[in-house]
Structure 1
């Protein structure tokens, strides 16, 4: 939420979720993003946008 309307790099998210150098599955972040999208988008007002090749962005609808 602190970084809304700014792109958050994929690597930063992986480091925050899984720790530095921890070998998470290749699609683990996508699974978490998918689950989070379902929860917050059902409430309305906010969505997660994928910025291809960079990361993700939280935007107001």
Structure 2
């Protein structure tokens, strides 16, 4: 048997208009967590210098 779906923020039943959340407030709280970096995928830290390729000269 599957568990009933609940709002990931407050555990109330979801509302169709905001699914999987129960309200716009809970949806906005979750979005705020994404914006502030509260959610992250675990992994090895990456050095910022490794992410940017060296600039190539513009011969155009």
| TM-score for both structures, normalised by structure 2 | 0.29
- Structure possessing the higher relative contact order (Cα contacts under 8 Å, 6 or more residues apart): 1
- TM-score, with structure 1 as normaliser: 0.29
Greater share of strand: 1
Larger radius of gyration: 2
